[in-house]
């Protein structure tokens, strides 16, 4: 394919797409509204399905350097601190956790031709003019594009333009996120992800970084049921003392982390969680959606960025093998929409599982205990369709 692809948004999906297109010798222009990348220290889980894509893009070594390797999961009761289930991952590829900023830099650095990346360029609108698209920017002259990939995130302008009636619905959860320099006293949390589940609260803790010392971080996500509407933005400063008080529990380990969070110089941020209904289609003519623009999801399966990265790889494959861009966009949608929608749904269902109460919680706890003692491999089988996905044979 000779035509250049215009990508909106240099987030995780947009950067992965640029990287994959460049590897295939396909031209692109990537536009990002921010002046530069923010040094976000917060964690991101890089599950084996993502690792496969990043390895395919030649980023195996760099990924290992920036990541903590998660060998298993531990689920505990928020109410009693009792371990409900504990198991080792058995995937062929590693499960990593790293800083979002490091993953961003890794993708950015992998792009050779930086002249194709344009910061401080906010797309305001676009319209079809003849066989081209005319793009209107906030602070610069309009440009034209042959084809547009909207990797412009959860608040996607392009999605709004394709689906003017589209509206997300508040999910009834507020989430807080904090990081702490890793300390010896968190050692028991190394090498795994630990989740405390309760009917109102749920907490996820995992290290970021590959050294078990203060050069790495402990990542903390605290979710609470909250009937009051919360903003969707995920950088809303939160009062740490009040957050810590709201999450006090029976686990000495978790309470120490909460105290450390209050004492630490690092901020804590709040964001409201929203439910997004699946879209009927992502591609229309010369325009397609990718990542959160196409399928925003609740973070309860830690697969939002994962799906964006998979989307990008598959879209680049179709663009490389199909002369007609519009056909490539349709094939990409056909390959991706079912899987991304299913993951979107699973992420939503997990909210109910994590926050179950009464009889539902008792059944969940009984089942987890039984399965993790008798057949822990069943817990891995449950996510095998997500983590063991073979991207190379999917298109
Ligand atoms: C708290 C939290 C924890 C998460 N944890 C995980 C996890 O562990 N694992 C995982 O896989 N996923 C996780 N996710 C989800 C993941 O972060 C997102 O799904 C992922 O970032 C989506 O990538 P994207 O490229 O589609 O969008 P983004 O990464 O949001 O990028 C969109 C980009 O587009 C730019 N942009 C927007 N509008 C315009 C415009 N008009 N013009 C130009 N540029 C524009 C934005 O500035 C941004 O840089 C988490 C999400 C949250 C909120």
> What is the residue-wise DSSP string for 46-82?
E-HHHHHHHHHTT-HHHHHHH-EEE-EEEEEETTT--
Q: Which CATH class is domain 1-36+119-167+280-351?
A: alpha beta
Q: Which of 71, 70, 74 is nearest to 82 (CA)?
A: 74
- For the residues of 325-393, what is the DSSP string, one character each? HHHHHHHHHHHHHHHHHHHHHHHHHHHHHHT--HHHHHHHHHHHHHHHHH-THHHHHHHHHHHT--GGG
Residues near 119 by beta carbon (within 8 Å), at least 6 away in sequence: 10, 32, 34, 35, 36
Contact (CB, 8 A) for 99 and 114:
no
Mean pLDDT within 249-277? 94
Residues 6+ apart with CB under 8 A from 343: 295, 297, 301, 303, 306, 307, 386
| Angstrom distance (rounded) from CA 90 to CA 273 | 31
| Average pLDDT across the chain, whole number | 94
Contact at 8 Å (CB) between 49 and 391? yes
**For residue 1, is pLDDT > 60?**
no
CA–CA separation, 1 and 300 (whole Å): 38
Q: Strand (E) positions, the chain?
A: 5-8, 28-31, 43-46, 68-70, 72-77, 83-88, 95-99, 117-118, 123-129, 132-137, 143-145, 148-150, 169-181, 192-197, 201-208, 217-225, 236-237, 269-275, 283-284, 287-289
Q: Is 123 in the pocket of ligand 1 (CB under 6 A)?
A: yes
- pLDDT score at 238: 93
Using only C-alpha atoms, the chain has a radius of gyration, in whole angstroms, of 21
CA–centroid distance, residue 368 to ligand 1 (Å): 32
Q: What is the pLDDT of residue 8?
A: 98
Atom of ligand 1 nearest to the CA of 50: 11
Least confident of 251-255, 290-294, 369-373: 369-373
The second-level CATH assignment, the architecture, of 43-100+169-275+356-395 is 2-Layer Sandwich (3.30)
Q: For tokens 């663009």, what's the residue?
A: 319
Indicate if ligand 1 lies below 6 Å from the C-beta of 40. Answer: no
Contacts 24+ apart (CB under 8 A), 27-32: 27/2, 27/3, 27/116, 28/4, 28/116, 29/4, 29/5, 29/116, 29/118, 29/145, 30/116, 30/117, 30/118, 31/6, 31/7, 31/118, 31/121, 31/123, 31/137, 32/117, 32/118, 32/119, 32/120, 32/121
Torsion angle defined by CA atoms of residues 72, 83, 178 and 122, in that order, rounded to the nearest 10 degrees = 50
**Distance from C-alpha of 133 to C-alpha of 323, rounded to nearest angstrom:** 18
Q: Is the CB of 257 under 6 A from ligand 1?
A: no
Q: Do domains 1-36+119-167+280-351 and 43-100+169-275+356-395 have the same CATH topology?
A: no
pLDDT at residue 234, rounded to an integer:
65
Question: Any idea what the Cα angle at residue 26 is, between residues 21 and 27, rounded to 5°?
Answer: 105
Q: How many whole angstroms from 27 Cα to the centroid of ligand 1? A: 23
**What's the average model confidence in pLDDT over 294-303?**
97
> Is residue 33 lining ligand 1, measured as CB closer than 6 Å?
yes
CB atoms under 10 Å from CB of 101, counted, come to 17
Say if residue 141's pLDDT is above 90: yes
The pLDDT assigned to 236 comes to: 83
Structure tokens belonging to residue 55: 């390895």
Sheet holding 5-8, edge to edge: 117-118, 28-31, 5-8, 148-150, 287-289, 283-284
Pocket test for ligand 1, best of 12, 35, 148 (most atoms within 8 A of CB): 12
Q: How many CB atoms lie within 10 A of CB 322?
A: 16
Calpha distance 53→99 (Å, rounded) = 18
The answer to whether residue 2 scores a pLDDT higher than 70 is no
More confident residue, 230 or 24: 24
Cβ 384 under 6 angstroms from ligand 1: no
HSE-CB of 166 using CA atoms within 13 angstroms: 24
Q: Say if residues 77 and 84 touch (Cβ distance below 8 Å).
A: yes
Structural domain spans, the chain = 1-36+119-167+280-351, 43-100+169-275+356-395
Give me the mean pLDDT over the 215-232 stretch: 88
Measured from the CA of 177, which atom of ligand 1 is nearest? 1
Ligand 1 centre to CA of 143 (Å) is 25
Residue 235: pLDDT band by 50, 70, 90 thresholds? confident
Locate 122 and state its tokens.
């906010």
Give the Å distances, CA to CA, from 109 to 31, 71, 120, 370.
16, 28, 19, 46
Tokens of 15: 């950067």
With cut-offs at 50, 70 and 90, classify the pLDDT of residue 344. very high
Kindly report, residue by residue over 82-125, the tens digit of the pLDDT.
999 999 999 999 999 999 999 999 999 999 999 999 999 999 99
């Amino acid at each position: 394919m000779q035509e250049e692809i215009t990508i909106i948004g240099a987030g995780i999906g947009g950067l992965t797409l640029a990287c994959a297109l460049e590897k295939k010798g396909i031209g692109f222009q990537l536009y990002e509204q921010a002046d530069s990348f923010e040094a976000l220290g917060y964690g991101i889980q890089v599950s084996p399905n993502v690792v496969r894509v990043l390895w395919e893009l030649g980023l195996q070594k760099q990924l290992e350097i920036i990541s903590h390797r998660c060998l298993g999961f531990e689920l505990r009761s928020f109410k009693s601190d009792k371990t409900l289930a504990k198991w080792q991952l058995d995937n062929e590829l590693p499960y990593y956790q790293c800083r979002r900023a490091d993953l961003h830099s890794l993708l950015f650095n992998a792009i050779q031709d930086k002249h194709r990346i344009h910061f401080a360029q906010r797309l305001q609108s676009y319209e079809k003019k003849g066989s081209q698209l005319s793009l209107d920017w906030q602070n610069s002259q309009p440009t034209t594009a042959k084809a547009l990939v909207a990797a412009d995130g959860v608040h996607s302008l392009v999605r709004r333009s394709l689906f003017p009636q589209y509206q997300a619905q508040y999910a009834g959860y507020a989430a807080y996120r904090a990081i702490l320099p890793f300390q010896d006293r968190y050692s028991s949390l190394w090498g795994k992800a630990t989740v405390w589940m309760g009917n109102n609260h749920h907490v996820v803790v995992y290290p970021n970084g590959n050294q078990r010392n203060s050069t790495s971080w402990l990542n903390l996500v605290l979710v609470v049921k909250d009937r009051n509407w919360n903003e969707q933005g995920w950088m809303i400063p939160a009062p740490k003392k009040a957050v810590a008080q709201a999450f006090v529990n029976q686990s000495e380990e978790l309470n120490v982390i909460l105290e450390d969070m209050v004492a630490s110089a690092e901020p804590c941020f709040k964001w409201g969680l929203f439910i997004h209904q699946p879209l009927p289609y992502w591609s229309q003519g010369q325009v397609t959606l990718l990542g959160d623009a196409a399928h925003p999801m609740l973070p309860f399966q830690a697969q939002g960025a994962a799906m964006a990265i998979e989307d990008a790889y598959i879209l680049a494959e179709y663009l490389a093998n199909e002369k007609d861009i519009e056909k490539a966009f349709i094939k990409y949608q056909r390959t991706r929409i079912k899987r991304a929608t299913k993951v979107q749904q699973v992420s939503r269902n997990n909210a109910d599982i994590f926050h179950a109460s009464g009889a539902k919680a008792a059944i969940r706890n009984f089942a987890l205990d039984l399965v993790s003692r008798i057949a822990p491999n069943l817990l891995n089988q449950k996510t095998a369709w997500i983590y063991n996905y073979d991207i190379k044979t999917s298109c």
